[in-house]
Every structure is written in C-alpha cells, then in structure tokens.
Amino acid sequence: MDTTTAPKIIDIRQDGGGLTPLVPQIREGLNAREGQEKKLPTLLLYSENGLKLFEKITYLEEYYPTGQEIQVLEAYADRIADRIALESNSMLVELGSGYVQPLCCALLVAGR
C-alpha cells in the first residue's frame, strides 16, 4: 500500500484498560474471507465522519438491514398507521437508529 495516499487512522482512546488497537481491528474486519461478514469497530462511527461513512455502508448491497426495514415499513405502512391510531396515547419509539432513513419512513406512516 502506498503510505503517501493511505488514510491516516488516529486512535484517540487512552492507553490501558485492555483495549484492542483500532488499526488491526480495521484491517481484520475489512479483510474478511469470502463468505465472512466485513465489519468495522463501532467506535469509528461515533463522529460526524463516522455517521457519514455508516450512511454510505447502509446503501451497499451486502448491508441488507436498511433495505429490509424500508420494505417492511412500506409494505405494512397502512397497518402500522392504523395500529398507532387505535390508541390516543400511542408512541413510536426508534431504538438507536444510527441511520435515519427507516425512521423517516416510520414517521411518515405515523403521520397518516
């Protein structure tokens, strides 16, 4: 790899506590063998740049949850809206969306 163009990874965590260094985790996660899941340490996704990266990842074909969530919400939108409307004190709770596209679909459904 050409080190003049390689991205620089800066681990801002404090030393100690038995934390695994980030660079080996990144390399191992991205060099997964065929048939194995590629992954990145979630710590990388806790910044503005990390969230942008995560958004891009959610649109990759191999990252299916976002597409599946959107399909479910679109397929059952009317039933979801009807169910929410049954109770005047209904709440729609999104637990740790990470990427908000499925949440936006859910809010559109709830607003019907």
pLDDT in tens, the chain (112 residues): 455 556 565 565 555 555 567 888 888 988 988 888 888 887 777 777 877 888 888 888 888 777 788 888 888 888 888 887 787 777 766 665 556 666 666 666 666 6
**Residue 74 lies in domain:** 65-110
Total number of domains constituting the chain: 2
Q: Report yes or no on 69 lying in a domain.
A: yes
At position 96, the amino acid (one-letter code) is G
Q: What are the CA-CA distances from residue 88 to residues 19, 49, 57, 109, 110 (Å)?
A: 47, 39, 37, 16, 12
Question: Same domain for 37 and 71?
Answer: no
| Distance between CA atoms of residues 38 and 63, nearest Å | 10
